[in-house]
Amino acid sequence: MKRWMDFIGKRYFAYGLSIFVIVASWLYGGLLKGPKFGIDFTGGLLIQAKFKENVGTEFVRSLFKKENIKSVSVQNLRDSKSEFLIRLPVVKNPE
């Protein structure tokens, strides 16, 4: 049994399908969702902090609220209540 497929004849269909998928992903990612840049592109500070005692994320956030620092992201690391990953935004005009 001989199988034959005309791949070269279908190349324009494949080109069109590829361009459609690429443009659709750009529109979906760029217009509907918007780009979500990581700390590499947005700037800011990434800190891994470890406390001697067990403290919660709310305690760490409250430390930044006392200093009037907003948009702080605090995450627990390794299922621990003493180790955190803290992301701070760029300060445009420090005073």
Residue 93: pLDDT band with limits 50, 70, 90: low
Tens-place pLDDT, residues 18-51: 999 999 988 888 777 777 777 677 778 889 999 8
pLDDT of residue 16: 97
Residue 11 burial class via C-beta count within 10 angstroms: exposed 0-12, middle 13-18, buried 19 and up: exposed
Pairing mode, if any, of strands 83-88 and 45-50? antiparallel
Tens-place pLDDT, residues 10-24: 899 999 999 999 999
